[in-house]
Each structure stands twice: as structure tokens, then as C-alpha cells.
């Protein structure tokens, strides 16, 4: 533990730990909330257009998974909105009027999404097929709008805008629209949206690839792989471009975060790209790691002569508190992204040639692990953004310890332990339910009932026979 963390109030650590835990949990469900509706509607459309019951079955099952992840996401999202006040009253009390509007927008869009998802999930049996499809159609757009709002609020914390601070330290000239469209919004939103689609698509595909590997090579599994994997294949190269733009923007906007991401200690040109290694905050040096000369400067500015400011330019008390974590998270994110790009390319070439799921076992194992890999990248990316911003909760304006609650540290540790326990059981519960769902689906694959997606409900006699 370094010096400035020890000087901070005792409740800061449990507050940060609790926030980190709840955010990292919530973010698992976010990609599904954003991207699963798109996939289910694609399957739904395919099914209706070609009278394809397999595609319709997929769509209906995905809608149930979406409903479950949506419910858990709603609960963990509620936790976050409580925590904004429970843990960080200094932030919401002072800046709520500046960056609160996107949360209000998100609240309403989330509301709309909850309503539409409920109609879609519970409407399969009795609504007319095309009516049902069109009622589901707005869901992906509403979800994207919600993501836009939340990312806008987060981007504001990185690039605060839309207010001025007068001589007395009071907030004046509040402009909520200026706060929403802050400088970091375009790249943060672009980067996250593509990441969310990739994460959900790779995760869904990998589930069906596992079934494929176990020999379930039917049309159901083929579609279950091809729809999401096509989405992922299109988006992965896009993410490389967007990710690079994001890194360059962070280099310009938040030099201290960039220095931590790339673990640049001394400012200068011809900066090497250091892979992994360990940062020593006492001496401001890096131990170990693999160094590629000049690459960092070249990536940041297109030439080895690019000057990259290092951590030496930041006063020690303002340096990110966990440089090693930020740096490793960044390297992991980029590393995983590169691996996934290879996978996407492989799938593209193989599909081009055979018009089917590739038969190569190495490919299949690779694709089966892509779901977990992409989630590792999402979590790592979130760590880069959030931990990399420290010690600022509002970049260069408010320190995290100024925002934390004055509630007793002991109380916070108790609530953190409770939340941790509870989330563990929630995670186990969710996984159990999803597994039970898939087992039941597999059982019912042998019956015809499941394939009658639309139409009146079967009567009691039919179901029980």
C-alpha cells in the first residue's frame, strides 16, 4: 500500500472496494442487455421471413436469457444508483446538478426497455408473430440510448465540462447539455458500444461452440454459432481502429492515465512499449517486463520522435494509485483484443471457403474460449478507465477522498462484506438458472412442442401427454 492511500480517510478503501465489486459485477450483464436483443431480433426476423422454426426457437430462448440477465442487471444497477449517494455523497452533493441529467435520461430509457422486454418475453405465445417482432424492434435502440447516457456520465468524470467554479469554490454556469456532450464521450462511447456487442456475441457463440464440440452438430447449434460469430467478426477489426483512436485521445486528454497505462516513467521521445513488468512507486521505475524500443511513441503520435510525458511530470500525490494494475489491465485488454482479431480473421476465411462453421478443432477450442476472453478484456478495460483516473473522481477537480461518505469505516466494511457475500450467491444463482435453462432446452429438443413457437398455448392435455 502506498503512502497517499494510508493518509486517506479510513472509509475510502472499503468504499472503493465496494464500488469496484458492484461495478465489475454489473458490467457482466450490461453487454447482454445491449446486444442480446439485437441477436434475438435477427433470429426472430430470419425465422419469420423464411418460416424457420429453428431460428424462432433460438430467438425465443435468447429472449428468456435476455430477460434473466436484464433482471439481474436491473437489480445490480439499482445498487449502483444507491451507492452514488451511499458511498460518494461528496460527488452527487456537489456535482449532481451538472452530470445528473444523463442518469435521469438513462432511468427513463431503462424504464422503457423494461416495459418492452416484458412485452416481448411474455408475448411469444399469444401476440401475432409480426406484431410481436415489431414490438421488440425498439429494444436495441433504447438499450443503446441507455448505454450512451451512462457512458456520457462516466466520460464526464474523465473530461469534466459544462460548469465553472467561481472564486469561492462554488459551481456556477451549469450547462447539463455541455456536460453530456463532453470531450471524452465520442471515443468512450464508441469503444464501449463495440466492446459490449463483441462481448455478448463471443459469449453467446462460445456456448453453442461448446455444444458443437460435444457433437451436437445440428441446425440449431449452427445458427447459434453463425449469427453471433458473424456480428463479432465484423466488429472486432472495427474495435481495433476505435481502440487505437481512444488510446490516442487519452494520450492527449489524460496524460497521467496514459503514462500509467503504458507505464511511462520518464518523459521524452523514443518511448519504448513495455509489456507487463512491475512499477515501483517509491522510485518511479519499472522492473522486469518486455520492452519494444520506440513503439510507444510511434503508437501515440505516429512517429518515434513523439514526446510522451511520463509519470515524473505528475506530482507523486496525483499519480494513479495503482499504476501496475492499470498497466497490466491495459496490456491484457490489448492482448486479448489481438487474439480475438486472429479468431475473427480465421472465421472469416474459413466461412468464405466452406459456408459453414469451421471444422478445425483448434478453431473450435479457440472459439469456445472466446466468450471468457472477451469478458476479461471488458473488465480490464473498465479497470483502465476507473483505476487509471485515480486519485481523481472528477478529473483534476475533485479527489476521490473528498467525495467519500463520512460514514464509519467499520460500517462500510460490514456492508462491503454483506454485498460481497450476496453477490457471490447472486452469481451462483444466475449461473445455476442459466444452466438449468439450457438443460431443459436440450431435453425439450426431442419434443415437437418447443418448435411450435407461435400460436395458441397447448392445452393441459397436450402438455401433460
Partner 1 sequence: MSVTVAAILVLALTLYACTGIADYGAGFWDLTAGGRDRGRLPRSLIDNAVTPVWEANHVWLIYVLVLCWTGFGSTFASVMSTLYIPLALALLGIVLRAAGFAMSKDAARARMRHLAGWLFGVGSFLTPFCLGTAVGAVLTGRIPVGNAAGDEITSWLNPSSILAGLLTVAVGAYVSAVYLLAEAHRHGTAALHGYFRFRARAAGVTGLLLGLGLLLALHVDERQMFDRVVQRGWPLLLLSLALLAGSFRLAAGVRVWRMRLVAAGGIAALVGAWAVAQYPYLLPFSLTVQDGAAGPATLRWLLIWFVGALVLVVPALILLFWLDQKGELGEDPATSRIPAQGGSVQEGSSVQEGSVQEGSAQA
Give the footprint of partner 1 on residues 113-152 (CB under 8 A): 114-119, 122-127, 135
Piece of the chain touching partner 1 by CB under 8 A; list 232-240, 316-324, 384-392, 403-411: 403-411
Closest separation between CB of residue 339 and partner 1, Å? 32
Indicate whether 420 belongs to the interface with partner 1 (CB under 8 A): no
Give 371: exposed, middle or buried? Use CB within 10 Å, 0-12, 13-18, 19+: buried
Report, in angstroms and rounded to the nearest whole number, the Rg of the chain calculated over CA atoms.
24
Place of cell 487509471: 388
Closest separation between CB of residue 162 and partner 1, Å? 9
Indicate whether 464 belongs to the interface with partner 1 (CB under 8 A): yes
Instruction: Give me 373's grid cell.
Output: 476472453
Residues 46-105 that bind partner 1 (CB under 8 A): 60, 64, 68, 70-72, 74-79, 81-82, 84-86, 89-90, 92-98, 100-101, 103-105
Per-residue DSSP letters for 301-353? HSSTT--B--GGGS-GGGS-TTHHHHHHHHHHHHHHHHHHHHHHHHHHHHHHH
> Where do the DSSP E strands lie in 107-214?
164-165, 171-172
Piece of the chain touching partner 1 by CB under 8 A; list 210-218, 335-343, 373-381, 400-408: 400-408
Q: In this chain, which of 408, 442, 445, 455 binds partner 1, going by CB under 8 A?
A: 408
Q: In this chain, which of 7, 241, 292, 418 binds partner 1, going by CB under 8 A?
A: 418
Smaller CB separation from partner 1, 168 or 283: 168
Closest separation between CB of residue 58 and partner 1, Å? 15
Smaller CB separation from partner 1, 51 or 465: 465
Indicate whether 455 belongs to the interface with partner 1 (CB under 8 A): no
For the CA atoms of 201, 39, 346, 340, the dihedral, rounded to the nearest 10 degrees, stands at -20
Smaller CB separation from partner 1, 281 or 415: 415
Binding-site size for partner 1 (CB under 8 A) equals 86
Name the nearest CA neighbour of 347 among 360, 362, 358.
358
Residues 317-376 that bind partner 1 (CB under 8 A): none
Smaller CB separation from partner 1, 88 or 279: 88
Q: What are phi and psi of 172, to 5 degrees?
A: -135, 175
Residues 1-40 that bind partner 1 (CB under 8 A): none
Q: In this chain, which of 411, 417, 445, 451 binds partner 1, going by CB under 8 A?
A: 411
- Residues with Cβ within 8 Å of residue 379, at least 6 apart in sequence: 24, 27
The number of CA neighbours under 13 Å toward the Cβ of 211 is 21
Here's the x/- map for partner 1, 164-193, by CB under 8 A: it reads as -------xx-xxxx----------------
Return the axis-axis angle of helices 323-354 and 219-253, rounded to nearest 10°.
140
CB 204 within 8 A of CB 223: no
Name the nearest CA neighbour of 326 among 250, 402, 417, 249.
250
Q: In this chain, which of 112, 275, 314, 350 binds partner 1, going by CB under 8 A?
A: 112
CB 159 within 8 A of CB 178: no
Smaller CB separation from partner 1, 256 or 404: 404
Q: Measured between alpha carbons, how far is 323 from 280 in angstroms, rounded to an integer?
A: 9
Closest separation between CB of residue 181 and partner 1, Å? 13
Look at residue 451 and give its three-state secondary structure: helix
Q: In this chain, which of 5, 226, 314, 437 binds partner 1, going by CB under 8 A?
A: 437
Could you count the other beta carbons within 10 Å of the beta carbon of residue 424?
11
Smaller CB separation from partner 1, 95 or 347: 95
Smaller CB separation from partner 1, 108 or 165: 108
Amino acid at each position: 500500500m502506498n503512502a497517499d492511500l494510508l493518509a486517506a480517510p479510513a472509509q475510502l478503501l472499503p468504499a472503493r472496494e465496494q464500488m469496484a465489486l458492484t461495478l465489475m459485477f454489473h458490467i457482466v450483464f450490461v453487454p447482454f442487455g445491449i446486444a442480446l436483443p439485437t441477436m434475438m431480433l435477427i433470429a426472430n426476423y430470419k425465422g419469420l421471413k423464411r418460416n424457420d422454426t429453428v431460428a424462432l426457437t433460438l430467438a425465443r430462448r435468447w429472449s428468456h436469457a435476455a430477460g434473466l440477465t436484464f433482471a439481474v442487471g436491473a437489480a445490480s444497477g439499482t445498487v449502483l444508483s444507491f451507492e452514488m449517494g451511499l458511498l460518494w455523497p461528496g460527488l452527487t452533493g456537489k456535482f449532481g446538478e451538472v452530470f445528473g441529467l444523463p442518469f435521469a435520461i438513462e432511468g427513463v430509457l431503462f424504464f422503457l426497455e423494461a416495459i418492452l422486454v416484458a412485452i416481448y418475453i411474455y408475448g411469444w405465445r399469444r401476440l401475432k408473430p409480426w406484431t410481436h417482432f415489431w414490438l421488440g424492434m425498439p429494444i436495441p435502440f433504447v438499450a443503446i440510448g441507455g448505454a450512451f447516457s451512462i457512458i456520457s456520465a462516466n466520460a464526464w468524470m474523465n473530461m469534466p465540462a459544462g460548469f465553472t467554479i467561481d472564486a469561492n469554490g462554488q459551481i456556477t454556469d451549469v450547462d447539463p447539455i455541455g456536460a453530456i456532450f463532453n470531450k471524452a464521450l465520442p471515443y468512450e462511447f464508441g469503444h464501449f458500444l463495440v466492446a459490449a456487442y463483441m462481448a455478448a456475441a463471443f459469449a453467446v457463440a462460445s456456448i453453442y461452440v461448446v455444444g458443437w464440440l460435444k457433437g451436437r452438430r445440428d441446425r440449431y447449434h449452427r445458427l447459434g454459432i453463425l449469427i453471433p460469430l458473424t456480428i463479432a467478426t465484423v466488429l472486432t477489426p472495427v474495435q481495433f481502429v476505435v481502440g487505437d483512436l481512444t488510446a490516442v485521445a487519452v494520450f492527449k486528454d489524460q496524460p497521467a492515465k496514459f503514462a500509467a497505462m503504458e507505464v511511462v516513467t520518464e518523459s521524452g521521445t523514443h518511448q519504448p512499449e513495455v509489456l507487463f513488468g512491475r512499477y515501483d512507486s517509491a522510485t518511479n521505475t519499472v522492473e522486469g517486463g518486455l520492452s519494444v524500443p520506440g513503439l510507444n511513441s510511434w503508437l501515440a503520435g505516429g512517429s518515434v520522435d513523439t514526446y510522451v510525458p511520463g509519470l515524473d511530470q505528475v506530482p507523486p500525490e496525483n499519480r494513479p494509485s495503482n499504476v501496475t494494475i492499470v498497466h497490466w489491465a491495459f496490456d491484457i485488454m490489448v492482448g486479448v483484443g489481438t487474439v480475438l482479431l486472429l479468431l475473427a480473421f480465421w472465421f472469416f476465411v474459413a466461412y468464405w471457403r466452406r459456408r459453414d462453421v469451421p471444422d478445425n478443432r483448434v478453431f473450435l477450442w479457440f472459439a469456445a474460449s472466446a466468450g471468457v476472453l472477451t469478458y476479461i478484456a471488458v473488465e480490464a478495460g473498465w479497470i483502465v478507465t476507473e483505476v487509471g483516473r485515480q486519485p481523481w473522481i472528477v478529473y483534476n477537480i475533485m479527489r476521490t477522498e473528498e467525495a467519500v461518505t463520512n460514514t464509519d469505516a467499520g460500517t462500510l466494511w460490514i456492508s462491503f462484506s454483506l454485498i460481497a457475500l450476496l453477490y457471490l450467491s447472486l452469481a451462483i444463482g444466475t449461473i445455476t438458472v442459466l444452466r438449468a435453462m439450457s438443460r431443459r432446452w436440450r431435453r425439450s429438443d426431442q419434443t415437437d412442442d418447443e418448435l411450435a413457437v407461435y400460436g395458441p398455448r397447448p392445452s393441459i392435455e397436450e402438455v401433460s401427454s
